[in-house]
Structure 1
């Protein structure tokens, strides 16, 4: 199997920091701040070239940002006092993936489908429609299978939608759902590709980052 490399930063946010409050209110500002973690000079599509993905995990004890990239991560470039950061190399996780391995997973996704238009509008593209409920669950089951995961369980939890503010920005509202559960790896190479590239739409706005842990881990 091809050797894959990425790093994951876990940032426990300082909720008293003005920059954190700004970024939590505006997905565009969050994206701008997190791009400071990867090198400059990546051309016209720096997020895509760096492989940067992120997810916001909120519990009663902490608000944590997980940020993954194939490019080197430099947490010292974050604003002073933004949060406590720990970075780990994901290479051992990629090396451990194999068919039949049981894992626990977590992902926040933006389930959506493109609206079908009547034949009279065959030269036009339909709108992208967010999915909810069983339709969203089925979307995730299909996308997980494509990514080399056979789901054994899934627990959906709707998240606050990603929003964008500002006079010069068109409104943004990405519907987000977090899924937790267990699964079995069916295709290690497809799974590695999905882990690096992210799954679904809305990657610049906190969707698509899949994280794994051994099924036996607590």
Structure 2
């Protein structure tokens, strides 16, 4: 497994197109793997996420089973004139040693962009409909429900810091809510998803399950920038570097 970080040059017109459409970003990411055929039904899972630290500071993170080649992204949305053989414009880390070091009881800061949804039935006898959670409290509840299966436990705040009436009991924030609406290539109709970003602190409860989550993703809409969780040592900023 590999984890790749690429900084997007937001001043370029092609970058603005990339950042405005998850469909375009997905296509650009998948084009980074020459051995993966777009029409293949058994394509290995590739996860990606856009982190917007500021208007002019946007990073693309990619978790993949093989090493990517982002030359096309550097040429179209990066700084091609600054690229060299040693500094090509992106950084790829071997993810396997980090994953192998995860131990039960370890504490890490985490970041996750996800599509928190639930299924509802408006009236008896009709099929259920997948619907986005819209409030931070319910969005956080979605993540808390997946702790045990995901092999982690989000730290709780000290009792005197909890605001239980607002559901504010854990060391996690829910931010950067985005309602995305875009056309799906080759199909009629549009795709509508709601994404949020979680930042917090967790404890590893099941290393095997957490490794699976980090490489396979969490939740729906993985093709559109959701599901990739990254970890950073407790006390450090979540740059995505392991």
| Pair in the same fold by TM > 0.5 | yes
Deviations 1:163-213 (A, max 9, x none): 314896422221001000001000000001111110001111111000011
- Name 1:14's counterpart in structure 2: 9
1:159 to 154, 170, 177: 177
Does the CA-based 8 Å contact 2:67-2:92 persist in structure 1? no
Question: Does 1:62 pair with 2:64?
Answer: no
Inter-partner Cα distance in structure 2 for 1:92 and 1:146: 23
Question: Does 1:200 pair with 2:219?
Answer: yes
Inter-partner Cα distance in structure 1 for 2:51 and 2:147: 20
Q: 1:15 to 1:216 in 2, by over 3 A?
A: closer
1:36 to 26, 31, 43: 31
Per-residue deviation at 1:116?
2.9
- Name 1:130's counterpart in structure 2: 132
Q: 1:67 to 1:202 in 2, by over 3 A?
A: same
Q: 1:15 to 1:130 in 2, by over 3 A?
A: same
Between stretches 68-77 and 187-196, larger displacement belongs to: 68-77
Between stretches 188-197 and 85-94, larger displacement belongs to: 85-94
SS of corresponding position for 2:7: strand
- Is there any run of 5+ residues in structure 1 with no aligned partner, and where? 1-5
Between stretches 159-168 and 84-93, larger displacement belongs to: 159-168
- Name 2:165's counterpart in structure 1: none
Does the CA-based 8 Å contact 2:110-2:199 persist in structure 1? yes
Structure possessing the higher radius of gyration over alpha carbons: 2
SS of corresponding position for 2:218: coil
- Name 1:209's counterpart in structure 2: 228
1:51 to 45, 56, 65: 45
SS of corresponding position for 1:50: coil
- Name 2:110's counterpart in structure 1: 105
Does the CA-based 8 Å contact 1:25-1:163 persist in structure 2? no
SS of corresponding position for 1:49: coil
Deviations 1:123-150 (A, max 9, x none): xx31111002211111111123320110
Does the CA-based 8 Å contact 1:36-1:78 persist in structure 2? no
Inter-partner Cα distance in structure 2 for 1:71 and 1:205: 19
Inter-partner Cα distance in structure 2 for 1:16 and 1:158: 21
Q: 1:166 to 1:35 in 2, by over 3 A?
A: closer
- Is there any run of 5+ residues in structure 2 with no aligned partner, and where? 79-88, 156-170, 238-242
Inter-partner Cα distance in structure 1 for 2:198 and 2:232: 14
Does the CA-based 8 Å contact 1:162-1:205 persist in structure 2? no
Question: Does 1:85 pair with 2:90?
Answer: yes
